[in-house]
Amino acid sequence: MILSLRPLGPDDIDALEAIEHVAYSAPWSRSMFASELAKPTARSLGAFATDGTLLGYLILSRYVDAWHLMNVAVHPEHRRAGVASALLRRVLEDTSGDPARGYTLEVRVSNTGAVKLYEGFGFEIQGVRKGYYLDNREDALIMWKTADPGQAAG
């Protein structure tokens, strides 16, 4: 199904928005995508089908002590097919040479599928942000993955 994983750019914003609007009840705006894609400290990665269709994406921002997983989404028609796993695997490989930084993310407490996915990649629940999501005031789990110097890129 996935032909390629590649960095995202401004030309991909329409496709990002299309997935975002079917994936989330409180989608990112076009300007939020543009801002993240323009950051020199951010990494963005898209999973594309053989026909060039965007199936899913991941956006990661680098901060002083951590890589923050800002957004992961897969089009509903392509979920449970390994798209998110492929994106996570690649971005963790690409940033593994940075042992001073761990990884963090927030995820809805109700999103058990995503929590299980992240746990499979070594993320652990470290706390809760009460009322984090503005659309329904749902809590977010704060998950962390410690940097693993043993996985440094060579």
Active site members = 106, 118
> Is 142 within 8 Å of 126 (Cβ atoms)?
yes
User: Considering only CA atoms, which of 117, 114, 118, 112 is closest in space to residue 145?
Assistant: 118
d(CA 61, CA 72): 12
Provide the 8-state DSSP code for 10: G
Residue 35: how many CB atoms within 10 A of its CB?
A: 12
> Is 29 within 8 Å of 134 (Cβ atoms)?
no
